[in-house]
Amino acid sequence: MFTKTSPALDLVYFLVFAAAVLTMPIWLAPIGAGYPDLLQKFAIFGLFATGFNILFGLTGYLSFGHAAFLGVGSYTAVWSFKLLGMNPIPAAVLAVVASGVFALAIGYVSLRRSGIYFSILTLAFAQMSYNLAYSVLTPITNGETGLRVLESDPRILDGGGATDGPLISNLFGIEMTGYAGFYFCAVVLLIGFFIAQRIFRSPFGIMLRAVKTNQNRMTYTGLNPRPYTLAAFVISGMYAGLAGALMCITDPLAGAERMQWTASGEVVLMTILGGAGTLLGPIFGAALIKYFENIFSAFNEQTLHEIFGFLPDFLEAPVVAVSGLFVGEGWHLTLGVLFMLIVIFLPGGLMEGFARIGRVLKRSSNKSEKSGSATAPAE
Amino acid sequence: MEILRVEGVNKSFGGLRALNNVNFSVEEGDVHAIIGPNGAGKSTFLNCMIGRLAPDTGSVMFGDISLTGMKPYEINQVGVSRVFQTPEIFTDLSLWENIMIPTMAKRDGVFALHAFKRLDQDKEILDKSMHMLEEVGLADKRTVIAGSLSRGDKRRLELAMCLSQDPKLLLLDEPTAGMSRADTNNTIDLLKRIGDRSITKVVIEHDMHVVFSLANKVTVLAQGAIIAEGKPEDIKGDPRVQEAYLGGAHL
Amino acid sequence: MDVILLQLLNGLDKGGAYALIALGLTLIFGTLGVVNFAHGALFMLGAFCAVTFNKFLSLEIVTTDPTKTTAWGSPLEIRTPYIEVYFGDFGAWVLNYSVPVSILFAIPVMLLVGFIMERGLIKHFYNRAHADQILVTFGLAIVIQEVIKSMFGANPIPQSAPELVRGAADVGAVFGYDPGIIVYPYWRMVYLGFAAAVIGAVFAFLQFTTFGMVVRAGMADRDTVGLLGINIQRRFTVVFAIAAVVAGVAGVMYTPILPPDYHMGMDFLVLSFVVVVVGGMGSLPGAVAAGFLLGILQSFASMNEVKAVLPGIDQIIIYLVAVVILLVRPRGLMGRKGVMEN
């Protein structure tokens, strides 16, 4: 694995990825995913999962509380809109700083334990943040209603006061909705991906993988695993905060439900589904899950009847009834089943699946070559 | 010259006294074996030296640095490496990466946030670690995942990891435990070969064959106390040792 | 003093539910070494056993009474649960007691669920990393939850306690306080007694049967018990099924207190894990003690007097306790030294 990396290869890898991301509106259109709202989600959750992967994929520490950082990023972004103005850049920067500080505090405490205990500690902190955001922190979070930008907010950089249109984040006049919003998110995702790629190839990255493999050997090799893990935790918290800010940049509303532990579970799911520890896997997993959520959940009985219309009637009804469980409202069920199947049969995620298929193909082509050459000397 | 000096070390677990006022010193360049029957306190002793256990009383001096109370990674950073009974390696990483990590630890210290440097461009680390792999004869397996190695190769890899840090003192905890005769001999050869580097070694060992082919000084531990110390030939003949260690049978 | 007594009582029934779920969780962890994130879903399944049973009993037969008419002039429809039609008073009695009676229905169902879960899934995860166990059971929890949601809908379905115990007792009067100050619903008392009985039964089972002895030995030292030539695998299945039943009946009896909905399992799971951790991983008495302790702490924290001093404390108290315990005493209140202490 290591011997194959080189700066040139990585550049190609990055450029191909960038081209694929930026042309998503075109090549995803045929499968019904080519509209900006969904594409924004691909980019945002891709970024979230990429960050989560730096912690979980490299160090193996399973955090069940990353949604808290998403929430902190969101609230910070909206407050930046309220106080400073609708420019997304300060919002994103402040969100990264705030979530980084928050992650430093939670990580410092949680990383005193490992394994399940670490998972439960992070979960406990996230639940505390969530509960507090709903209750006593209402002055900051606006509780159940969610925090939004008001006409009466100061917005110092914008000059404040009333505006003509609705309050939408804008980058020097370009409104961050629709395709403009997507491209902003996509560029942020690319920056995030680039940094993650560098981390994967760096001495720091290999130290994180050492943390996952054998902490005992690490300490007796003169390395202190704690600051390495903490750094990974903070970095991944910053990614989550940035993703939270992007959510508010495309739609300036922050709600506490973003911090719920099911949201933390979702990013775990994305990472595992795509393939923890791989660069592309988590982004792929995130896109897949969001695709399922948006497209699959739009299916209803009518569309199913159309799909299975070719079946004879006595078959069509039960098939539609059963598959109806898995679409529409029931897409979570599909997700749960898929998730279990992945953990059971393909713990490396879809990326491992692709690698396996690739190996099988390679082997079968090798075999045919070998059998061809082997017959010759036998003569 | 003395490189390690242990003075008046006591260690109890509950009511059980594992180490009883142990005084011990290692001369630079020696291969010093610690032997003793099961439960004599060998491992406890080693763990007290390396910072895994804190002795109740007494001091462990490495040169003029006191090792007591230091963290294992700090102890390593001053030049003490350790080989474990079951090889402790990074099983998910390639052999080459396994060596790079200690090489970097030696150069960059306990923690360094090189998140933006490219490891595959770091010539110093690449060359040093490759050289080490060649030295222990594992260079052709450099891209193999370490977990898939045989036990003998794992031991060799672990040794290489320790040696890549140029330690002043190398502690070996039963380096041939559970090995076949052939692997044991290979390990002895390897240890002898690296003896040229004048690395001081402390070996805890069960296997007398290993002790007598490696060590030039032997300390015998029984029931948490040192009962004899000297050259291997002297120890062989010492009746107290035979009494404690072998129940009177001759070596 | 009366306030304290009231909060103590309020905390007990919730504590009972925590204790029962945590008991199963820690039993599974201690013997099988598996972290079961689907245990809350089992609690929820139990609750829905009660719902199903009640629905089944409430199926009605519609008859028309030609002598009476409704306001619209059509003949009056009389709906009678068929069970009353067929079984008369006994039928009415069963319907009235549907929650406790559905335990009889829930036990075989939960045994079966536990058996299938262990044989079909958990078994294959004994030797996998804890993270994998967490993830696969988390996936299973989602699946169970969604199946229930598609069958019963997303809204809570209230269940009523038997008429006899529907009211509330003026507990305060017994202790000499003015009437009406300390009022405690009868059903919560029933729940408390029930929880105590189940806990007692589980402990007695582990203490006094050969099977229980092996299980306890297994919790103390899994490797050695495996070496004794005892068929651990089969016992694991039984242990898992027992834990499933305990969680299930806990869910059944909790329905009159909290109308069950599909995500109640997740809500309880997180708290139960905290309970297990506070009590000490793998310690059964610890799980029970911590369950009650945290239930009571939670109800104290929600007192207005406490909230005035520490705003929001009621929302975070349980998690706060868990964090403190994990950092200060990671083996929990009653955990054995060295278990999961890294």
Chains C and A touch (3+ CB pairs under 8 A): yes
Residue-range definition of the domain harbouring residue A89: 2-260
What ipTM describes this predicted complex? 0.90
A372 band by pLDDT with thresholds 50, 70 and 90: very low
Q: Are A59 and A211 in contact (CB under 8 A)?
A: yes
Average pLDDT over residues B22-26: 89
What the block records as the tokens of C177 is 């306080």
Question: What pairing do the DSSP bridges indicate for beta strands B200-204 and B31-35?
Answer: parallel
Do residue C312 and residue A135 have CB atoms under 8 angstroms apart?
Answer: yes
Do residue A340 and residue C319 have CB atoms under 8 angstroms apart?
Answer: no
What percent of chain B has a predicted confidence (pLDDT) above 70? 96
Helices (H), chain A: 7-22, 24-27, 36-59, 67-83, 88-110, 115-134, 138-141, 178-201, 203-213, 215-219, 225-250, 261-274, 281-295, 301-307, 313-326, 331-345, 349-378
pLDDT at residue B38 tops 80? no
- Whether residue C43 lies inside any domain: the answer is yes
| Measured CA distances, A340 to A32, A345, A354, B251, C41 (Å) | 26, 8, 18, 60, 15
| Measured CA distances, B247 to B241, B244, B250 (Å) | 9, 6, 9
Asked if C309 has any chain A CB less than 8 Å from its own CB, the reply is no
Q: How many domains does chain C have?
A: 1
Do residue A127 and residue C150 have CB atoms under 8 angstroms apart?
Answer: no
Neighbours of chain A (3+ CB pairs under 8 A): B, C
Exposure on the CB side of residue C223, measured as CA atoms within 13 A: 0
Q: Which of C25, C126, C304, C326 to probe the A interface (max A CBs under 10 A)?
A: C326
At residue A309, the pLDDT reads 73
* Contact residues on chain C for A132, CB-CB shorter than 8 A: 312, 315-316
Partner residue opposite B111 with nearest CB, options A2, A202, A227: A227
* Contact residues on chain C for A329, CB-CB shorter than 8 A: 149-150
Paired residues of C183 in beta bridges: C170
3-class SS of residue C271: helix
Q: How many domains does chain A have?
A: 1
Concatenate the DSSP letters of all residues of A249-264 into one string: HHS-EE-GGGGSHHHH
Partner residue opposite C143 with nearest CB, options A62, A109, A340: A340
Across chain C, which has 342 residues, the per-10-residue mean pLDDT values are 77 86 88 86 92 84 72 71 74 80 91 92 85 86 88 84 77 71 81 91 89 80 67 82 93 89 81 85 87 89 81 82 84 68 43
Please tell me the distance in Å from A101's CA to the nearest CA on chain B.
17
**Residue range(s) occupied by CATH 3.40.50.300 in chain B:** 1-79+170-251
Residue-range definition of the domain harbouring residue C41: 2-59+103-328
pLDDT at residue A144 tops 90? no
Residue C52's H or E segment, with its range, is helix C39-58
Chains B and C touch (3+ CB pairs under 8 A): no
CB atoms within 10 A of CB C175: 11
CATH architecture of B1-79+170-251: 3-Layer(aba) Sandwich (3.40)
CB atoms within 10 A of CB B217: 18
- Whether residue A376 lies inside any domain: the answer is no
CA distance A82 to A71: 16
A263 band by pLDDT with thresholds 50, 70 and 90: confident
At residue A368, the pLDDT reads 58
Q: Which of A113, A219, B99 is nearest to C325 (CA)?
A: A113
Do residue C266 and residue A62 have CB atoms under 8 angstroms apart?
Answer: no
Average pLDDT over residues A276-287: 92
pLDDT in tens, A66-80: 999 999 999 999 999
Paired residues of B228 in beta bridges: B220
At residue A40, the pLDDT reads 93
pLDDT at residue A360 tops 80? yes
Q: Are B68 and B131 in contact (CB under 8 A)?
A: no
pLDDT at residue A378 tops 50? no
Nearest 10 degrees: Cα torsion C283, C285, C288, C291: -60
Asked if C330 has any chain A CB less than 8 Å from its own CB, the reply is yes
Neighbours of chain B (3+ CB pairs under 8 A): A
Nearest 10 degrees: Cα torsion C332, C338, C341, C342: 180
Q: Which CATH number covers residue C118?
A: 1.10.3470
- Whether residue C149 lies inside any domain: the answer is yes
3-class SS of residue C36: coil
Average pLDDT over residues B241-245: 71
- Whether residue C122 lies inside any domain: the answer is yes
Do residue C150 and residue A339 have CB atoms under 8 angstroms apart?
Answer: no
- Whether residue C228 lies inside any domain: the answer is yes
Q: Which of B74, B86, B90, B168 to probe the A interface (max A CBs under 10 A)?
A: B90
Amino acid (1-letter code) at residue C87: F
C247 versus A34: the higher-pLDDT residue is C247
How many residue pairs from chains A and B have C-beta atoms closer than 8 A?
Answer: 121
Q: Which of A1, A27, A28 is nearest to A277 (CA)?
A: A1
- Whether residue C248 lies inside any domain: the answer is yes
Exposure on the CB side of residue C116, measured as CA atoms within 13 A: 7
Please give the biggest Cα pair distance in chain A: 91
- Whether residue C89 lies inside any domain: the answer is no
CA distance B185 to C279: 51
Please tell me the distance in Å from B122's CA to the nearest CA on chain A.
9
pTM of the model: 0.87
At residue B248, the pLDDT reads 44
pLDDT in tens, B57-114: 888 889 888 888 888 899 999 999 999 888 899 999 999 999 999 999 999 999 988 8
Asked if C339 has any chain A CB less than 8 Å from its own CB, the reply is no
Most confident of A16-20, A117-121, C137-141: A16-20
In total, chain B counts a number of residues equal to 251
Please tell me the distance in Å from C267's CA to the nearest CA on chain A.
10
What percent of chain B has a predicted confidence (pLDDT) above 90? 25
Gap between the terminal Cα atoms of chain B: 31
Q: Are C136 and A344 in contact (CB under 8 A)?
A: yes
Q: Which of A9, A10, A37 is nearest to A25 (CA)?
A: A37
- Whether residue C83 lies inside any domain: the answer is no
